């Protein structure tokens, strides 16, 4: 007997009072708290999810619309059902956790059309202690060979009008995901990106996202006016198709992370569990790193990417940055503007970017040799301006050359409009395929990728640990530009509970000159316009709060000279054995503790929004009974992001696992702490 009548009360209740229990197949998480159910309603397969016996997602539609073929999703009968339970643990070569346990229960339900084409599909659903997930599989079948999906019919019918933290996906250039976050009821949403973080009246937190986006279109969520139901909406090829494929085929996972409160949303590893194991034969060459670079100068307009008197990427200037990195224990130096193609309006002429050859004032061989001698990695920058065909043509030869020169990390960039010059959306299947090609080419040549204006993170780093980090959110660069006024003080306290749940971010923290004024633009500025709206202590705390195995010391070398607080950037780790969120509320504050990989050393970062705040941080994550020395970099009593951002106080004290560390955070402030065993 395949089809088991559900005994779960929440599912029957969701069908209205007095409704007969519908047949359903249910997977329950190992801790018994999360459930995902698959059920037929009027011949259509639906999914639903609950936590602690309360529906979070009501029965929601599943299926596909195709070009040139009838939609698949109605008049279905269940033709097979399977169950499984798995409990495995895998290591992350780089990560916010060294090891991830994947313990889940799974149900697979195959449905077949009762008439017409008699096509079949399977839905695989898994329940974990940290959420639920499902994916579609389209088995090989004569009636469904090559196909074009025009719409995925998946819905997320939320049981209540949850509060959503969202960024829009229907504004100009939305796919870079560099907008400011808003919050409000789901019933007011239009088109939004994932991860989408939702808060229910009971305090339950849910995050809708996707995992293993491998050969499919990126998913947005489409709201309907005054409705609690969100619908999957797929990024498109130029010709309007969403997904092109042929059977056998499987979709990415649709994931709903579930937690009791905001603090328990991170570290978020659901997507890692839903990606295939590592395909990197040897990951031993991968290194976490802190890096500086020829970068901020261009954003504050004191240097240019293009050649000329202000050119940033000269041989001499690069050597100066490499010297600084070597002298300060930074493992890498990023150089932007070293290659040919930046002169003029590079966004329009991006099809002529040359990734092999340097400008006349930049000696690539000499710089690479100098970097090697200094023990610093030269991070090559590849801005494509979304002219991806031009990039793909050079990919293998460029990466082969980099590898020969000892270059082990590349920062890619996709500054472009909503659609690339070929007309495909930034998060389309076309671009998903492109990014996979880049990651795989990099893997072949022993190169790690830091991607800007990326495809969203769906956990690829498990399969390809050389996918080091990416942007895909509003980073520090906005604080240099002004105009829109930079990031508000609450920005990073939202990022932590939204974008960061997808994976690492190259935010580029560490600006010490907090009164930066962008020169030479001719745009009149108010004093608060273009500058980070944080204190210096908060810039330090971001190294711990915003996880990335590559962390930039983003400011100009001269701005670190004579700054005692720079010691924290020298000391802080970028790769971790474990991570613990000590406290946090979305958009207000967050405090995180992380243990350095393979070392008896912990770091704590706490940040607040525009409000000053006092937090008592319990250090019970430390091993019991052993004294530690805490080095604190705290906001001075008179610190304030707007009026006195540089006022940071360094102090030391002895602590144990029983200590409570008082954190006094200024407006826009933070606290950064290093904890080492006391001798």
Burial of 114 (0-12, 13-18, 19+ CB in 10 A): exposed
* List 250, 290, 435, 452, residue binding ligand NOJ (CB under 6 A): 452
Q: Which is nearer to ligand NOJ, 130 or 555 (CB)?
A: 555
The CA distances from residue 338 to 229, 313, 405, in Å, are 49, 5, 15
* List 460, 471, 492, 555, residue binding ligand NOJ (CB under 6 A): 471
* List 106, 175, 383, 460, residue binding ligand NOJ (CB under 6 A): 383
Q: Which is nearer to Ca ion, 135 or 452 (CB)?
A: 452
| Segment interacting with Ca ion, rule: CB under 5 A, options 105-113, 284-292, 446-454, 581-589 | 446-454
Residues 477-496 that bind ligand NOJ (CB under 6 A): 477
Q: Which is nearer to Ca ion, 205 or 452 (CB)?
A: 452
Q: Which is nearer to ligand NOJ, 452 or 674 (CB)?
A: 452
Residue 323: both structure tokens together:
């010297």
* Alpha-helix runs per DSSP H in 312-425: 315-327, 364-374, 388-404
Q: How far apart are CA 597 and CA 224, in angstroms?
A: 46
Q: Which is nearer to ligand NOJ, 155 or 175 (CB)?
A: 175
Q: Which is nearer to ligand NOJ, 457 or 471 (CB)?
A: 471
Kindly state the smallest distance separating residue 621's Cβ from ligand NOJ, in Å.
Answer: 34
Q: Which is nearer to ligand NOJ, 358 or 634 (CB)?
A: 358
Kindly state the smallest distance separating residue 453's Cβ from ligand NOJ, in Å.
Answer: 6
Question: Cβ(574)–Cβ(289) under 8 Å?
Answer: yes
Residue 415 interacts with ligand NOJ (CB under 6 A)?
Answer: yes
Number of H helices, E strands in the chain: 13, 39
Kindly state the smallest distance separating residue 577's Cβ from ligand NOJ, in Å.
Answer: 29
Q: Which is nearer to ligand NOJ, 155 or 336 (CB)?
A: 336
Burial of 102 (0-12, 13-18, 19+ CB in 10 A): middle
131-135-141 Cα angle (round to 5): 160
By a kind-dependent CB cut-off of 5 to 8 A, residue 413 interacts, out of Ca ion, ligand NOJ, none, with ligand NOJ
Residues 320-349 that bind ligand NOJ (CB under 6 A): 336
Q: Is the dihedral of CA 508, 510, 514, 517 positive or negative?
A: negative
**198 Cβ contact partners less than 8 Å away, ≥ 6 residues apart:** 158, 162, 163, 164, 165, 186, 205, 206, 207, 208
By a kind-dependent CB cut-off of 5 to 8 A, residue 383 interacts, out of ligand NOJ, Ca ion, none, with ligand NOJ
Q: Which is nearer to Ca ion, 40 or 451 (CB)?
A: 451
Q: Tell me the HSE value of 588 on the side-chain side, using a 13 A CA sphere.
A: 9
Residue 555 interacts with ligand NOJ (CB under 6 A)?
Answer: no
* Alpha-helix runs per DSSP H in 375-470: 388-404, 429-444, 460-463
Question: Cβ(483)–Cβ(447) under 8 Å?
Answer: no
Residues 448-487 that bind Ca ion (CB under 5 A): 452
Closest to 254 (Cα-Cα) out of 231, 237, 235, 229: 231
Q: Could you identify the residue written with the tokens 């596909």?
A: 64
| Segment interacting with Ca ion, rule: CB under 5 A, options 84-92, 311-319, 447-455, 586-594 | 447-455
Question: Cβ(247)–Cβ(138) under 8 Å?
Answer: yes
Q: How far apart are CA 304 and CA 343, in angstroms?
A: 9
Q: How far apart are CA 447 and CA 407, in angstroms?
A: 7
* Cis amide bond preceding 248, omega within 30: yes
CA Rg value for the chain: 25
Q: How far apart are CA 600 and CA 537, in angstroms?
A: 23
Q: Which is nearer to ligand NOJ, 212 or 471 (CB)?
A: 471
Question: Cβ(461)–Cβ(503) under 8 Å?
Answer: yes
Q: How far apart are CA 116 and CA 294, in angstroms?
A: 62
* List 73, 288, 413, 510, residue binding ligand NOJ (CB under 6 A): 413
Measured in degrees and rounded to the nearest 5, phi and psi for residue 13 equal: -60, -35
Kindly state the smallest distance separating residue 13's Cβ from Ca ion, in Å.
Answer: 46
Q: How far apart are CA 636 and CA 638, in angstroms?
A: 5
501-502-503 Cα angle (round to 5): 95
| Segment interacting with Ca ion, rule: CB under 5 A, options 164-172, 430-438, 444-452, 485-493 | 444-452
Q: Could you identify the residue written with the tokens 């999810």?
A: 49
Q: Which is nearer to Ca ion, 228 or 491 (CB)?
A: 491
Kindly state the smallest distance separating residue 477's Cβ from Ca ion, in Å.
Answer: 6
Kindly state the smallest distance separating residue 314's Cβ from ligand NOJ, in Å.
Answer: 17
Question: Cβ(436)–Cβ(443) under 8 Å?
Answer: no
Count the site residues for ligand NOJ by CB under 6 A.
Answer: 8
Kindly state the smallest distance separating residue 275's Cβ from Ca ion, in Å.
Answer: 25
Kindly state the smallest distance separating residue 164's Cβ from ligand NOJ, in Å.
Answer: 26
Q: How many CB atoms are closer than 10 A to CB 89?
A: 9
Residue 284-323 contact track with ligand NOJ, rule CB under 6 A, x = bound: -----------x----------------------------
Active site residues: 477
Q: How many CB atoms are closer than 10 A to CB 343?
A: 16
Kindly state the smallest distance separating residue 451's Cβ from ligand NOJ, in Å.
Answer: 10
Q: How far apart are CA 536 and CA 419, in angstroms?
A: 37
Residue 175 interacts with ligand NOJ (CB under 6 A)?
Answer: no
The CA distances from residue 391 to 47, 70, 233, in Å, are 41, 38, 28
Q: Which is nearer to ligand NOJ, 383 or 601 (CB)?
A: 383
Kindly state the smallest distance separating residue 646's Cβ from Ca ion, in Å.
Answer: 26
Kindly state the smallest distance separating residue 177's Cβ from Ca ion, in Å.
Answer: 9
The three-state secondary structure class of 299 is: helix
Count the site residues for Ca ion by CB under 5 A.
Answer: 1
**560 Cβ contact partners less than 8 Å away, ≥ 6 residues apart:** 324, 328, 512, 553, 566, 569
Strands 205-211 and 196-199, bridge-based pairing: antiparallel
Kindly state the smallest distance separating residue 413's Cβ from ligand NOJ, in Å.
Answer: 4
List residues near ligand NOJ by CB under 6 A.
295, 336, 383, 413, 415, 452, 471, 477
List residues near Ca ion by CB under 5 A.
452
């Amino acid at each position: 007997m395949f089809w088991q009548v559900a005994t779960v009360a929440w599912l029957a209740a969701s069908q209205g009072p007095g409704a007969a229990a519908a047949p359903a197949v249910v997977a329950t998480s190992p801790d018994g708290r999360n459930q995902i159910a698959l059920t037929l309603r009027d011949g259509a397969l639906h999914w639903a999810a609950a936590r602690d016996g309360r529906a979070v997602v009501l029965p929601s539609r599943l299926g596909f619309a195709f070009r040139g073929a009838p939609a698949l999703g109605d008049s279905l009968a269940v033709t097979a059902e399977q169950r499984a339970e798995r409990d495995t643990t895998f290591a992350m070569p780089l990560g916010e956790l060294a090891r991830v346990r994947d313990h889940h229960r799974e149900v697979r339900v195959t449905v077949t059309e009762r008439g017409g084409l008699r096509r079949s599909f399977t839905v695989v659903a898994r329940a974990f202690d940290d959420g639920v997930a499902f994916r579609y599989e389209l088995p090989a079948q004569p009636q469904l060979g090559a196909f074009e999906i025009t719409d995925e019919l998946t819905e997320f019918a939320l049981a209540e009008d949850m509060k959503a933290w969202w960024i829009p996906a229907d504004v100009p250039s939305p796919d870079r995901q560099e907008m400011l976050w808003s919050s409000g009821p789901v019933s007011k949403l239009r088109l939004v990106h994932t991860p989408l973080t939702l808060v229910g009246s009971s305090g339950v937190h849910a995050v809708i996202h996707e995992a293993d986006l491998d050969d499919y279109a990126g998913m947005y969520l489409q709201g309907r006016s005054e409705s609690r139901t969100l619908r999957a909406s797929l990024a498109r090829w130029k010709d309007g198709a969403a997904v092109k494929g042929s059977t056998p085929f499987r979709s990415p996972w649709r994931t709903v992370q579930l937690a009791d409160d905001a603090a328990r949303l991170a570290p978020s590893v659901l997507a890692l569990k839903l990606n295939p194991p590592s395909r990197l034969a040897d990951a031993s060459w991968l290194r976490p790193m802190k890096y500086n670079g020829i970068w901020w100068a261009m954003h504050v307009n004191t240097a240019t990417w293009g050649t000329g008197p202000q050119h940033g990427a000269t041989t001499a200037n690069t050597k100066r940055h490499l010297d600084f990195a070597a002298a300060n224990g930074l493992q890498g130096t990023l150089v932007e503007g070293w290659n040919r193609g930046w002169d003029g309006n590079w966004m329009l002429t991006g099809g002529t970017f040359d990734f092999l050859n340097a400008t006349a004032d930049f000696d690539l061989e000499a710089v690479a040799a100098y970097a090697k001698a200094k023990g610093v990695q030269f991070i090559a920058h590849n801005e494509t301006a979304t002219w991806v065909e031009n990039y793909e043509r050079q990919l293998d030869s460029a990466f082969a050359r980099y590898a020969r020169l000892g270059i082990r990390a590349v920062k890619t960039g996709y500054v472009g409009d909503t659609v690339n010059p070929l007309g495909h959306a930034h998060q389309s299947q076309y671009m998903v395929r492109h990014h996979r090609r880049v990651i795989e080419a990099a893997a072949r040549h022993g190169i790690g990728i830091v991607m800007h204006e990326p495809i969203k993170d769906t956990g690829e780093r498990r399969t390809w640990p050389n996918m080091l980090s990416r942007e895909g959110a509003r980073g520090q660069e906005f604080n240099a530009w002004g105009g829109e006024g930079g990031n508000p003080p609450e920005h990073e306290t939202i990022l932590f509970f939204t974008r960061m749940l997808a994976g690492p971010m190259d935010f580029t923290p560490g600006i010490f000159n907090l009164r930066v004024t962008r020169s030479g633009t001719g745009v009149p500025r108010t004093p608060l316009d273009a500058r980070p709206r944080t204190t210096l202590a908060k810039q330090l705390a971001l190294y711990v709060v915003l996880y990335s195995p590559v962390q930039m010391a983003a400011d100009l070398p001269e701005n670190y000279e004579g700054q005692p607080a720079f010691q924290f950037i020298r000391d802080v780790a970028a790769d971790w054995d474990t991570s613990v969120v000590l406290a946090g509320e979305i958009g207000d504050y967050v405090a995180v503790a992380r243990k350095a990989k393979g070392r008896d050393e912990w770091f704590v970062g706490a940040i607040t929004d525009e409000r000053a705040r006092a937090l008592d941080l319990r250090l019970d994550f430390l091993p019991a009974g052993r004294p530690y020395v805490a080095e604190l970099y705290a906001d001075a009593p008179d610190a304030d992001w707007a009026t006195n951002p540089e006022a940071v106080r360094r102090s030391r004290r002895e602590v144990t696992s029983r200590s409570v560390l008082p954190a006094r955070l200024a407006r826009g402030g933070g606290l950064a702490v290093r904890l080492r065993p006391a001798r």
